[in-house]
Structure 1
Amino acid sequence: MFASSETLEQITRFKNKQKFEFNYLHLGNMEELNIQALPTTFIFNNTGELKFSEVGFRDWTSAESQQIIANVLNTL
């Protein structure tokens, strides 16, 4: 999922240009999620419970990152 506080028009233009296959979420107010810096990553389980959060860049192809995802999936 891609989340942004930009306007819906800007998000739509980005989505159409990039052709990514994930969902987009418009955030009205990033302070509600306590986002202090970009990028910020949140991983939620299927019930909406926050299972992982991190501020800053992460290489999601690394073994450590793949293990984080596997751990969340194993709790479903």
Structure 2
Amino acid sequence: MAFTKKRIFNIAFYVLIVAIIFTPLGFKVKVFTNQIFSGNPNTLKQEEQIVLQNYNWKFVDAKENSFNFNDYQGKVVFINFWATWCPPCVAEMPSLQKLYTDYKNDVEFIFLASDKVKNVNKYLKENNFSFNVYYSNYKLPQELKHTVIPTTFVLNKSGKIIVKETGAKDWNSEKTRKLLDKLLKE
């Protein structure tokens, strides 16, 4: 059986596809692809913006310290649902870290992981991310329910959902910064 150039190319192509799909290399390729194609987040149309009705929601940090969402009423809140095994989630983390670094004293950031604490801690350490991550086993407010990750919400001081985005986004964009600055002045 002679190996022609075409046959060698086909074998190499299939090996590459298998490597991308079934190895850690594939995860990195998916993350890179998501970073390239992530766009800027958009605000919801006025008629789509709804006010959060129920602030009675609890979540915990990695040390099991409990937090109540009631404490965040009257503040600009940025909520991101994510996991370390999710390529679009991982793709947007560098831009989220940059945004967090600049706005952590003014905006309440709540990063909620759908993951094991040890996986999250390892991921944060490996990437030098400094934001706090929380976990929720409690029922989410109806307005924050979602079916995919990453899903991100931005709430104004009145509890109105101004942004609801799914998929990887460039959160460190000028557009996002202008929106947060505007919400902080209201």
Which of the five TM-score ranges fits, normalised by the shorter chain? 0.5 to 0.7
Checking the alignment, whether the CA contact within 8 Å between 2:154 and 2:164 is kept in structure 1 is yes
Q: State the match for 1:3 in structure 2.
A: 112
- Among 63, 66, 72, which residue is 2:177 paired with? 66
Shift of residue 45 of structure 1? 5.0
**Greater C-alpha radius of gyration:** 2
| Residue-by-residue CA offset, 1:17-75 (whole Å, 9 max, x unaligned) | 2221211111336x73412222211224578x354322223222333222222222223
Distance, in Å, in 2 between the alignment partners of 1:50 and 1:28 is 24
Q: State the match for 2:166 in structure 1.
A: 55
SS across alignment from 2:169: coil
Aligned residues, how many?
A: 73
Checking the alignment, whether the CA contact within 8 Å between 1:40 and 1:56 is kept in structure 2 is yes
Checking the alignment, whether the CA contact within 8 Å between 1:37 and 1:55 is kept in structure 2 is yes
More strand by percentage: 1
| Aligned Cα root-mean-square deviation (Å) | 2.7
The alignment-based identity, stated in percent, is 23
Structure 2: stretches of 5+ with no match in the other structure: 1-108
SS across alignment from 2:118: helix
Letter in 2 for 1:24: V
Q: 1:46 to 1:22 in 2, by over 3 A?
A: farther
Q: TM-score of the superposition, structure 1-length normalised? A: 0.64
Q: State the match for 2:154 in structure 1.
A: 43
Checking the alignment, whether the CA contact within 8 Å between 2:153 and 2:165 is kept in structure 1 is yes
Task: Say which is worse superposed, 31-40 or 14-23, in terms of deviation.
Answer: 31-40
